[in-house]
Amino acid sequence: MRLRSTIAALAVSAVLPAATAHATDLEVMHWWTSGGEAAAVAEFAKAFDATGNHWVDAAFAGPGEQARAIMVSRITGGDPMGAFQFNHGRQAEDLIEAGLLRDLTDIAEAEGWKDVVNPPSLLDGCTVDGRIYCTPVNIHSWQWLWLSHKAYEDAGVPVPTNWDEFVAAAPALKEKGILPMAVGQQSWQQSGLFNVLMSSLVPVEIFEKVYGDKDAEVAAGPEVARVFKAAADAREMSDGSTVQSWNEATNLVITGKAGGQIMGDWAQGEFSVAEQKAGSDYSCLPGLGVTEVLGTGGDAFYFPVLDDEEKSKAQAELAALLLKPAVQVAFNLKKGSLPVRGDIDLSTANDCMQKGLKLLAENKLVPDTNQLLTPDTTSQINDLFAEFFADASITPEDAQKRFADIIASAD
């Protein structure tokens, strides 16, 4: 009896590994770690596990630029993961050129991505020399001003409806000890804020001329001077903000300790995790309530070239899966971002997302800076704004001069 059960146990243990061998482990690297982000990425993992494969989650807790550094060194160092998240655009240019990333054109054609991905510019961001190298999964736009109703009630002023009112209300908030504007002390947040001011406060052509055509004369011109003036206002309003990461800053808005924050629509996820209601607990102003346009940045998954056939098959399954309608809805509702398919129903989305969807449908869009600038230029701009926001002695004029120099040398 005992012998039999031992044999049975042995037999079971011998069968078990064989049974799991069908499920291919695929390591997926990303930097989605805040509450809303983690909930969203879990939707991907759930859907992928349901196909019989196994999603090995390799989340990097830290800013995206650090995560990208680690991913790149793993790929160039010959230890590639199964899939990784990047912002689509020029970040992966060199990796593609070196032939390190998998060509997804076959999958894209089989799944008809060209017909479903909306706006089409997203797929352009994944295309190099006519071949498609990434799967866009969402659209993120930077151009949002998030406002805390509680903070404005406490200060006894109405909730602003545009940037100018927001600036004008600042002294009333300050008097009550409320920080008028929360800005995390990380350079990507500071330069992101500036880019939002640039796309919202002056005509959109200026944004495209400066970042798209790298026109240094426009960058030194009077319109951009106005943007720098507004950035100086932002610097004054955020004086005394000691938080580092963006979600800590969003948390100040959620708890009413800060009036508002300029941050991309990913902040939406934090408001939902905190069970705040759009419209009554907080407001969102796309395009700062001035020029209502949205950027079409976002996240995409890239797949390194792998030798392992099983894993390559799993990669193809994952690539196709990420764009399936059900997965898109589940993921984007949690993430607070807009789906990349125009043909799915998002009626369950809240106020703010509906505003975004409307702008998307009306095609009021600007390209994202990641699609226009190399990481090199982006870091130079980040360094400039890190300095500008920390040191009030740098005048807007000086900063603009240095900004124009960076644009002049950009490629």
Partner 1 sequence: MASGRPNQLFRNKTAKIAAIPMILTAMVVFIGGTGWTVVYSFTKSKLLPKLEWVGFDQYERLWSTNRWIVSIENLAIYGLSMLVLSFVLGFLLAALMDQKIRFENTFRTIMLYPFALSFIVTGLVWQWLLNPEFGIQQIVRNLGWESFTFDPLYNPDLAIFGVMLAALWQGSGLVMVLMLAGLRGIDEEIWKAARIDGIPTWKTYLFIIIPMLRPVFITALVLITSGIIRVYDLVVAQTSGGPGLATEMPAKYVYDYMFRAQNLGQAFAASTMMLLAVLVVVVPWAMMEFGGKKND
- Chain residues in the site for partner 1 (CB under 8 A): 65-66, 68-70, 72-73, 76, 91, 93-95, 97-98, 185-186, 242, 244, 374-376, 378-380, 383, 386-391, 402, 409
What's the rounded Cα separation, in Å, for the pair 99 and 306? 11
The CB-of-190 to partner 1 minimum distance in angstroms stands at 10
Residue type (1 letter), 3: L
Which CB, 223 or 248, lies closer to partner 1?
A: 248
Tell me how far apart the terminal alpha carbons of the chain are, to the nearest angstrom.
Answer: 77
The number of beta carbons lying within 10 Å of the beta carbon of residue 217 is 11
What's the rounded Cα separation, in Å, for the pair 303 and 312? 9
| DSSP state for residue 117 in the 8-state scheme | B
The CB-of-405 to partner 1 minimum distance in angstroms stands at 9
| DSSP state for residue 62 in the 8-state scheme | S
What's the rounded Cα separation, in Å, for the pair 346 and 13? 46
The CB-of-68 to partner 1 minimum distance in angstroms stands at 7
Which CB, 185 or 350, lies closer to partner 1?
A: 185
Which CB, 62 or 112, lies closer to partner 1?
A: 62
Which CB, 15 or 69, lies closer to partner 1?
A: 69
SS3 state of residue 140: strand
The CB-of-213 to partner 1 minimum distance in angstroms stands at 21
The CB-of-315 to partner 1 minimum distance in angstroms stands at 22
Which CB, 68 or 140, lies closer to partner 1?
A: 68
Exposed, middle or buried by CB within 10 Å (0-12, 13-18, 19+), for 80?
Answer: buried
Please report where in the chains the tokens 């589940």 appear, as a residue: 330
- Whether 260 and 153 have beta carbons less than 8 Å apart is answered as no
The number of beta carbons lying within 10 Å of the beta carbon of residue 81 is 18
Task: Kindly write down the DSSP assignment for every residue of 176-236, as one continuous string.
Answer: TT-EEE---SSHHHHHHHHHHHHHHHS-HHHHIIIIIS--HHHHTSHHHHHHHHHHHHHHH
- Whether 166 and 259 have beta carbons less than 8 Å apart is answered as yes
The CB-of-76 to partner 1 minimum distance in angstroms stands at 7
Which CB, 118 or 189, lies closer to partner 1?
A: 189
Which CB, 45 or 70, lies closer to partner 1?
A: 70
The CB-of-186 to partner 1 minimum distance in angstroms stands at 7
